[in-house]
Amino acid sequence: MLISTLNLNNNAVIISSLSIILLTSFLLTRVTKKFKLPNVTAYIITGILIGPYVLNIIPKEIINGLDFVTDVALAFIAFGVGKYFKIAVLKQNGAKVFIITLFESLLAAVAVTLVMLFVFHLSVPFSIMLGAIGCATAPASTIMTIRQYGAKGRFVDTILQVTALDDVVSLVAFSICIAVAQALSSNTKLSLSVFLIPILTNVVAILIGIAMGFILNKIINDRRTQDNKLIITISIILAMTGVCSVLDISPLLSSMALGAAYINLSNNSHLFKQINNFTPPILTIFFVLSGMKLDVSSLASAGVIGVVYFVVRIIGKYAGAYLGALVCKSPDEIRNYLGLALIPQAGVSIGLAALGQRILPPEIGGLLSTIILSSSVLYELIGPASAKAALHLSKSIPDDKAKMVSSFSEAEAVSK
């Protein structure tokens, strides 16, 4: 451990570690941008490099002491997702979006679970938790691609709503799977209460989030300065995260409910932009920490399982989106291309993997984390390209931008 050998005091070690985490991750993004890779890929790779399994720069004590960052980062991510739950937009095609989301998320979860159980003969707790995590889709890279090409229209609206909703499905599924996994691990008899308790607990979390949304809307008004609005919002998000930590549940649902309640009550998206400007260092530390916890030595043992998970989840997502759109009689572009935009998986899934690692036995919990972290890098590598293809094929990109994309693709083909 490079830092600890310098005989620095504890505060100096913590501060120096945070500086190294942020600066190293920034420098690595300069490299990944050359290859047109998303920043999250650079962050995870940074964590792997400076973590205990490669260069061992950051002390393990610091890594363990920053565990709370996971919950805080997830809370901010979920708050941002909440803004996509505007009732006015959901009313237009909410039922169809909900059906498509159930198909694409649950089919991926079932496919992953069955393969893990019957092909690799892994334990039930591990298989169902990995399947539940497979539900989630990371909206960040897809949203960045949408913004980059100025894409808009019904296809884009469907993408945004589905990616927000399937995180909800994943969270509920994961909460139920945690209860089942804990019951199986402790040899507790499965009963209705085992399934109902986590669901009811998360319903309470959602109600708390909605209530705090009402309070946030009342407190924040035009007389507040921008700084005070930011301070109030962050304090409420952190308070809810603390309550969820006491209840031993993820802060995702409550924070998502908070964001949804606020956007519907205020119809003001400026606060979300403020939060987005505040959170990059927190999210950077979160992803770097996730990379630090990736046991590189376990990649070999997780190799085949990880590759199969990677492929099966993509097939499940695409097939589920196709079938859901077919049932809803959605337009051809949604039926044929929506699945391509649902490939990325980072943020929420990494957070859920971290939670699952705490619950499962160390060896199998490490395998779960390794599979999700390594596959997240791969998903983020191909996700933006898949999203761009989906937007281009669905004709959601304006004509001037579409010509640019088409010309770029032709130039690439010629160069090859």
Instruction: Report the share of the chain in percent with pLDDT over 70.
Output: 85
In a domain, 366, yes or no: yes
pLDDT tier for residue 317 given thresholds of 50, 70 and 90? very high
Cα gap 270→160, rounded to integer Å: 18
Label residue 233 by pLDDT band (50, 70, 90).
very high
Structure tokens at 30: 């300069």
Span 146-190, pLDDT tens digits: 776 788 888 888 888 788 788 778 877 887 787 777 777 666 665
Q: What is the structure's pLDDT at 276?
A: 84
Q: Tokens for 382?
A: 């191909």
> Among the ranges 99-103, 133-137, 400-404, which has the highest mean pLDDT value?
99-103
261 falls within a domain: yes
Q: Tens digit of pLDDT for each residue in 23-49? A: 999 999 899 888 766 677 788 889 889
Of the ranges 14-23, 118-127, 215-224, 398-407, which one carries the lowest mean pLDDT score?
398-407
Number of domains the chain contains: 1
Chain mean position to CA 10:
32
pLDDT score at 13:
85
Mean pLDDT for all residues in the chain = 81
Q: Which domain holds residue 387?
A: 67-407
Q: What would the pLDDT profile of 71-98 be if each residue is shown by its tens digit?
A: 888 888 888 878 877 887 777 666 888 8
Any idea how long the chain is? 416
Q: What is the pLDDT of residue 299?
A: 67
**pLDDT tops 90 at residue 258:** yes
Alpha carbon distance 311, 308 (integer Å): 5
Tens digits of residue pLDDT in 259-274: 999 999 988 888 988 9
In a domain, 351, yes or no: yes
Asked if the structure places residue 5 within a domain, the reply is no
Q: 35-49, 100-114, 128-142, 190-204 — which is least confidently predicted?
A: 190-204
For residue 403, what is the domain's CATH number?
1.20.1530.20
Structural domain contains residue 186: yes
pLDDT of residue 232: 93
Q: Kindly list the distances between the CA atom of residue 160 and the CA atoms of 84, 93, 294, in Å, as whole numbers in the listed order.
A: 7, 12, 30
What are the structure tokens assigned to 381, written together? 């590598």
Quick one: pLDDT at residue 6? 56
What crossing angle do the helices spanning 154-185 and 124-135 adopt, rounded to 10°?
160
The average pLDDT across 110-119 equals 94
Q: Residue 410: its pLDDT value, please?
A: 42
pLDDT one-digit tens code per residue, 370-403 = 888 778 777 766 777 788 888 888 888 876 555 5
Give the H/E segment covering residue 226.
Answer: helix 226-246
pLDDT at 416: 40
Angle at 81 between CA 224 and CA 384, to 5 degrees: 125
Per-residue confidence (pLDDT) for residue 102, from 0 to 100:
92
Measured over the CA atoms of residue 118, residue 120, residue 125 and residue 131, the dihedral's sign is: negative
In a domain, 17, yes or no: no
pLDDT digits (tens, 9 = 90+) for 287-302: 888 788 777 776 666 6
* pLDDT band with cut points at 50, 70 and 90 for residue 239: very high
Lowest-confidence pick of 2-16, 111-125, 213-227, 295-309: 2-16
Tell me, yes or no, whether 42 lies in a domain. Answer: no
Q: Determine the Cα–Cα distance for residues 50 and 63; give it in Å rounded to an integer.
A: 11
Establish if 28 belongs to a structural domain.
no
pLDDT in tens, 324-379: 999 988 888 899 999 988 888 766 787 778 778 777 887 788 888 888 877 877 77
Say whether pLDDT at 55 is over 80.
yes
- The DSSP-derived string for 158-210 is HHHHHHHHHHHHHHHHHHHHHHHHHHHHTTPPP-HHHHHHHHHHHHHHHHHHH
Distance CA 146, CA 383 (A): 12
The amino acid that residue 401 corresponds to is K
**359-381 exposure pattern, b = at least 16 Cβ within 10 A, e = fewer:** ebeeebbbbbbbbbbbbbbebbb
Alpha carbon separation from 55 to 20, 47, 67, 110, 195 (Å, rounded): 13, 10, 20, 38, 43
Distance CA 385, CA 36 (A): 10
